[in-house]
Structure 1
């Protein structure tokens, strides 16, 4: 659009005028921003020089994050808004604390302490690593990031750091954040890098999820471990001794690397069996785990722990698969992966609770499985040394939990069928005997050892305690005093594992509601129904526990 002025002046284009006006505006804005930036940079430089000159040298390490950048002199010369611009937020301070602490935990002294904690407190019931090899890696590998065991070291830190303390420990919140960060890194790295150390690392961090009561996450990690083990050919090693590896065989051939040392071979054997143990043990009592491996004879089991503690040169004189060098760990593996397989198989079957014929058939099969388990225990499970070996203790507790899981659905009739069938007193007595034996085992273990036990012991104790309570409530009898020992066992385990603290609250609530009708119970009603396994009701109990959780827990 053009404008003609009558006074004879030159014609001006309106769009040209608009453009000139905008250009002038942007030039003024640019000059303002440049001036502001120069002032801001000058003030920041002044503050930084002051901080360098007057900062307290004692404020180093983790404590330095709490030092304030602003000073009284600064306060008098700047506004409150300006001071807020330069002081770090609590979140950024915590991030710096975590980063600094991450570097600290990889120092040789702290890493040695954490690894020693792993081998003293966790290795007795989770013996998948060769101690001398791990310690040698820490001492000889520079930088540690170049080591194949770096992911394993991260997993060890993730598990041990939250419960590790020194005279000047890293704050509890920082330790928890580092643990969770390393746990996530281990899982992501293991998914993208298939190797034996990756599998070992994921197996180790499963302890975190189970101990926290995050069973869904735990089972997902176990599924990952099983798939990794298949790809690494661990089953071929344990079952076929690598007869089908890169050579002519009656078995389908596989292009998988053969172990280059006895240590590597033994670690692969132990990684395979630990995966199978976690899968079977964590689903004991449930009838939905259809992925369990079928037991086979002539399998390679782990060697004796005394032999496993020797260095590579010392162990080279003997093959680790010698049947004479069995161990308490091998006995535990046999129980969980072979003997309990029959319990899993029995619980996976369906039966008509309204049919007297079907009920009689189930009772007969149940007794048959029980007799086989009892025969195995009499010849394999030593009870004279319960207080001295964590694996023997775990085996005894697991065995008794299996008896309860086997019988509990048949002990008390389902709702609405009490008048038709009534209780099966043989099943009730077998379950009560198992509960009593478990409480005896707990009493034989000192508190320090009980605190360091496997978190998988937690659910076994809960299974027994739940049966005591439900039996007393349904049949209107007194609660056995042995229940106190089981609850004390959970309380002691709860010093380390949140899962135990959560289940302990459930039991205390059930005790307080002894005279309260089931329909008025604060707990999920399925807690009092033994047709549901303890695993089946775990999610409902976890939701209840979170709703009732105090803010400080």
Structure 2
């Protein structure tokens, strides 16, 4: 009976430990199962059965694998060969700090990434994988501002990782036509310009301008026409799912547009885009409509083609007819049109006005300064002066139509009183240097047009006011800037243009000139104004050089915020330091070559003092106001600036520069000059003044 009970109990035994370990079917024999006998190993039964479900340690193993996968992308972003890797908790902190640094320091100058969308995507593995090229670009741009364990990483580590990330961004971004690739290249191009690597930036910008056109980003999604093509194009970008996606693509285009204005490639025929909505609506995902912005049609705007003196309405291509498109003015401005006859500029923020100011600056350089004319051709001279007056009027109207909260760079805003908006600050500075570049041709006329009666004194005062006010605006902005807050390279351009106008000697150089030089030598190291109007502005010039050096320090993050003192590190160049060095070289050149005339457009030519014009006496202060004169005499003073002409032996008029002109041509030239002498032109308020910002700033401080 006992034997029967033993045989009945045998099948209830669990598998032996050896079979369970080898995952073999156990015969459950005693004293040894068939598998253990065959393998000649000890067989033992522990009398316990495995519980159903996952075995012990499996969950922990899976959790560790998932954790490694979720933090693996962090190692890609912050690990570089030749330097030790970081623990997981340090990588997590680095990622958080990197995102914070990017949106605080870089995003304001290239506002195209939606902060909330980026932060939420970091917790989604699929979205994060799509954004990896953008995350690499963000890390590359922000790395110099980060701390690891409370200390700044070594310069060698930063340089090595930035080099690695740049290479990875280029390889990934050039491998496809995704919106993320375009965003990454925009960040890379922006940083290359700021670092002074122009040779690396231009190929990126050239690629970006063609890419945004191919992807259809230069046109609103509702306005894209179906155009026949020899080879069907691939619809690279999927349709947008919501307003937020459409606004993001709109901002991507406008950021490429800003980069492109450095060397214009995009034309009006390529672009049909609304201006970006203000940052508040975009951040909080509040849909709002903005007007279309028509850019300058360079192909139509030759010096002989009249431009629109007033802002014109720009309809969507869907509403356009062929006839209206053919009659489109060369310079378009749709700022006040919303498709229903209303004014939708209320939804446009500082970034939109920044775009407008960049386009105005491009109109001055490409539509006026770079146009070649013949001084002996009355028709071309007439068109040249007409273009000057038209662009001048457009700039004045842009200033006049600015909302009150933006005339002072946003210091009177209710939500941030006393704080200068970065984009609006540069927009106002862009306006002022546009006036400098436009009026310099009248203020400092070349020898071949100096026989014309031009309001040179008025234009010289305009240039001087604009340069001084731009200097004050930049200084005020830098004073309110926290440590290691980079500024846009465009602000460096504004400072550079102003400094060239104010170029003069330092105090020491002036004393050296006084002690060791002849009277002729005293014309060295003096401003462009001093060459023409005997004005010394060397102090203001040095303030701008110092401002550029401050911008360089902000860009290179040369201040240790934790220690509260500058970093002791090897100097690295930047776009701003290059501009400062160029200004100092120009200053030395003027000292060593007192007879050299500096051109505001970048070239220089030998010019003796004997051919410089002799204008009426003008004694301005270091402020933006010149010595007061009798308004009733302003017309006569401006007219007196024209050099006296004489009669040649053949009856032709000989201008002061020695160029002969037919009598009827001289009469025509006088008529051209008269249109610049009317009181409406002379009395225009052209310059955005720093004093306009003082009252709201004081309110914000009380």
Common fold, TM-score beyond 0.5? yes
Deviation at 1:229, TM superposition (A): 1.0
Which of residues 113, 125, 137 is equivalent to 1:155? 137
**Does the Cα contact within 8 Å between 2:545 and 2:580 map onto a contact in 1?**
yes
- Which residue of structure 2 aligns with residue 408 of structure 1? 440
Match in the other structure for 1:505: 581
The change in CA–CA distance for 1:340 and 1:418 in structure 2 (over 3 A counts) is closer
Inter-CA distance 149–99: structure 2 relative to 1 (3 Å threshold) = farther
Q: Is the Cα–Cα contact under 8 Å of residues 470 and 495 in structure 2 kept in the other structure?
A: yes
| Aligned with 2:553 (options 490, 495, 505) | 495
Give the Cα–Cα distance (whole angstroms) in 2 for the partners of residues 207 and 325 of structure 1: 26
Q: Specify the SS of the correspondent of 2:554.
A: coil
Give the alignment partner of residue 393 of structure 2, picking from 353, 367, 371: 371
SS at match of 1:407: helix
Q: CA deviation at 1:325?
A: 2.2
1:425 equivalent in structure 2: 457
Aligned residue for 1:401, secondary structure, equals: helix
TM-superposition CA deviations, 1:273-316 (whole Å, max 9, x none): 11111111x24xxxxx4x23218997422222112112xxx64x
1:398–1:460 contact (8 Å) kept in structure 2: yes
Q: Is the counterpart of residue 308 in structure 1 residue 340 in structure 2?
A: no
TM-score, normalising length: structure 2: 0.53
Answer yes or no: is the 8 Å Cα contact 2:205–2:256 preserved in 1.
Answer: yes
| Alignment of 1:351 onto 2:373 | yes
Matched, 1:390 2:422: yes
Aligned position for 2:222: 241
Structure 1 or 2: more helix by fraction: 1
Shift of 1:456: 1.7
Q: Given the alignment of the two structures, is residue 225 of structure 1 paired with residue 208 of structure 2, yes or no? A: yes
Q: 1:177 aligns with which of 141, 144, 160?
A: 160
In 2: Cα distance, 1:420 partner to 1:365 partner: 19
| 2:565 counterpart residue number | none
Match of residue 133 from structure 1: 117
Distance apart, 1:500 and its partner CA: 1.0
Query: 1:95-136 CA deviation, whole Å, 9 max, x = no partner?
Result: 7444737x9899332122111111111222321000011111
Q: Who wins on radius of gyration, i.e. which is larger? A: 2
Question: Could you say which residue in structure 2 is the equivalent of 1:486?
Answer: 544
Q: Is the 8 A contact 1:245 1:258 kept in 2?
A: no
Equivalent residue in structure 1 for 2:242, among 261, 269, 281: 261
Q: 2:347 aligns with which of 302, 325, 343?
A: 325
Q: 1:98 to 1:430 in 2, by over 3 A?
A: farther
2:496 equivalent among 454, 462, 469 = 462
Shift of the 235–296 alpha-carbon distance from structure 1 to 2, 3 Å rule, reads closer
- Offset at 1:152? 0.5
**1:492 to 1:422, Cα distance in 2 relative to 1, 3 A:** farther
Are the equivalent residues in 2 in contact too, given 1:155–1:182 (CA < 8 A)? yes
Structure 2 vs 1, CA of residues 512 and 241 (structure 1 numbering), >3 Å: closer, same or farther?
A: same
For structure 2, list consecutive stretches of 5 or more residues without a partner in the other structure: 1-78, 292-343, 412-418, 504-526, 556-573, 605-702
Secondary structure, in 3 states, of the residue corresponding to 2:535? coil
Equivalent residue in structure 2 for 1:437, among 450, 466, 469 = 469
Q: Does 1:165 align with 2:147?
A: yes
Q: Structure 1 231/355 Cα, relative in aligned 2: closer, same or farther at 3 Å? A: closer
Spell out, residue by residue over 1:221-256, the C-alpha distance to the aligned partner (whole angstroms, 9 max, x if none).
1111112212221123x2x5255479x9xxx99845
> After alignment, is 323-332 or 293-302 more displaced?
293-302
Cα separation, partners in 2 of 1:320 and 1:180, compared to 1, 3 Å: farther
Kindly state the Cα deviation for residue 354 of structure 1 after the two structures are TM-superposed: 6.4
TM, length-normalised to structure 1: 0.66
Query: SS at the partner of 2:546?
Result: helix
- Work out whether 1:474 is the aligned partner of 2:474: no
* Alignment-derived partner of residue 529 in structure 1: 599
Change (3 A) 1:135 1:478: same
Q: Distance in 2 between matches of 1:104 and 1:489?
A: 41
Query: Which residue in 2 is equivalent to 1:216?
Result: 199
Residue 238 of structure 2 aligns to a residue whose secondary structure is coil
Aligned counterpart for 1:114 among listed residues 94, 98, 103: 98
Return the alpha-carbon distance in structure 2 between the equivalents of residues 529 and 105 of structure 1: 57
Shift of 1:493: 0.5
8 A contact 1:127–1:270 mirrored in 2: yes
| CA displacement 1:127-171 (0-9 Å, x = unmatched) | 100001111122x13488x62111001001111112333522321
CA distance in 2, matches of 1:209, 1:185: 15
Distance 1:455 1:214 in 2: 12
Give 1:466 shift. Answer: 0.9
> Aligned in 2, Cα 1:105/1:366: closer, same or farther, shift over 3 Å?
farther
Q: Look up the match of 1:195.
A: 178
- RMSD of Structure 2 on Structure 1 (CA): 3.5
Secondary structure of the structure 1 residue equivalent to 2:174: helix
Which range is displaced more, 467-476 or 351-360? 351-360
Question: In 2, Cα distance between the equivalents of 1:355 and 1:262?
Answer: 53
> Does the Cα contact within 8 Å between 1:408 and 1:531 map onto a contact in 2?
no
Deviation for aligned residue 1:198: 0.3
What is the total number of aligned residue pairs between the two structures?
A: 413
Which residue does the alignment assign to 1:336? 358
Deviation at 1:418, TM superposition (A): 8.9
SS in 1 for 2:151: coil
Q: Does the 8 Å contact 2:173/2:181 carry over to 1?
A: yes
State yes or no: 1:186 paired with 2:169. yes
Q: Give the whole-Å Cα distance in 1 for the aligned partners of 2:383 and 2:458.
A: 15
The runs of 5 or more residues in structure 1 that have no matched partner are: 1-93, 284-288, 520-524, 535-553
